[in-house]
Amino acid sequence: MTVRIGICGAAGRMGKIIIEACRETRGVKVTAAIEHKDSPALGQDAGEVAGTGRLGVPIVDDIAGVSGTFDVLIDFTAASSLPDNVKKCRKAGKNMVIGTTGLAPEQKKIINAAARDVAIVFAPNMSIGVNLCFKLLELAAGVIGAESDIEIIEAHHREKKDAPSGTSLRMGEVIAQTLGRDLRKCAIYGRRGVTGARDRKTIGFETIRAGDIVGEHTVMFATGGERVEISHKASSRKTFATGAIRAAQWIAGRRKGLYDMQDVLGLK
């Protein structure tokens, strides 16, 4: 069965790579491409915008108008646009793969509510390697987390709009949950001035934004005599696109519910 894919944010960095990756993947076909109403890409062919040759799919500005043409919508847009996109898919009964990050709690609630009617994979990082790291972090936190100083350092390209990255926050959540802590209370975002000695129960976040770094995350568990580091480095955005397409194939045909990449990869 061929899964028909709609891409929201089709002219964005990720949208274009997903179009390219879909063309290289058997069993999927891009049948709809959406951008916002002021996008200069409107009316253009999605394949040509992605630099992969003509696809025969024009970029439009309305999910509702093309909802009959796709099975799953992959959304890599912006936190401010996402709630509206989710509501439209819910109304049209369309399953979603959401890669958009930087969501506020109210925006996440809209995803939770929609998952009562449609099936959604929501993951701040679709890379298979990162999702393996989430599992490794759970293991490390369980073995040495309680007696370690835990720091999460992430680096991304200069255009990234949100900080710290959704992936680093998810890493923090995995560790906090394993240790029975509340990340909202124990997270420290950057340090400056006279900070005093470190509280062992905190989880530190450091952010780097520079050049064209695709995405790097390191979690450090440091004790008195040794240090364990779990690192992931993405060298191409294609890794996220491949994961998103795998998620779309997995979610197609499911009825409802909220899932993440751990579900898609069978890591739960």
Q: Which of 29, 87, 160, 256 is catalytic?
A: 160
The residue (of 35 and 154) whose beta carbon lies closer to ligand NAP is 35
- Site residues for ligand NAP per CB under 6 A: 8-9, 11-15, 34-36, 39, 76-78, 81, 99-102, 123-126, 240
Instruction: Write down the least CB distance from residue 60 to ligand NAP, Å.
Output: 10
The residue (of 39 and 249) whose beta carbon lies closer to ligand NAP is 39
Is 233 a residue of the active site? no
Q: Which of 88, 156, 217, 232 is catalytic?
A: 156
- Reference 1, options 265, 249, 263; nearest CA is 249
Q: 3-state class of 172 per DSSP?
A: helix
Instruction: Write down the least CB distance from residue 197 to ligand NAP, Å.
Output: 34
Is 91 a residue of the active site? no
Distances (CA, A) of 44 to 29, 34, 54, 60, 161: 18, 11, 10, 9, 26
DSSP tally for the chain: helices H, then strands E: 10, 12
Instruction: Write down the least CB distance from residue 152 to ligand NAP, Å.
Output: 16
**Would you list the DSSP string of 96-162?**
EEE------HHHHHHHHHHTTTSEEEE-S---HHHHHHHHHHHHHHHHHGGGSEEEEEEEE-TT--S
Q: 3-state class of 182 per DSSP?
A: coil
- Reference 234, options 212, 203, 262; nearest CA is 212
Q: Which residues lie closer than 8 Å to 190 by C-beta, 6 or more apart?
A: 205, 206, 207
The residue (of 89 and 150) whose beta carbon lies closer to ligand NAP is 89
The residue (of 101 and 218) whose beta carbon lies closer to ligand NAP is 101
Q: Give the integer Cα–Cα distance in Å for 197 and 153.
A: 19
The residue (of 39 and 52) whose beta carbon lies closer to ligand NAP is 39
Which residue has the closest beta carbon to ligand NAP? 12
Instruction: Write down the least CB distance from residue 55 to ligand NAP, Å.
Output: 17
Instruction: Write down the least CB distance from residue 145 to ligand NAP, Å.
Output: 25
Annotated catalytic sites, by residue? 156, 160
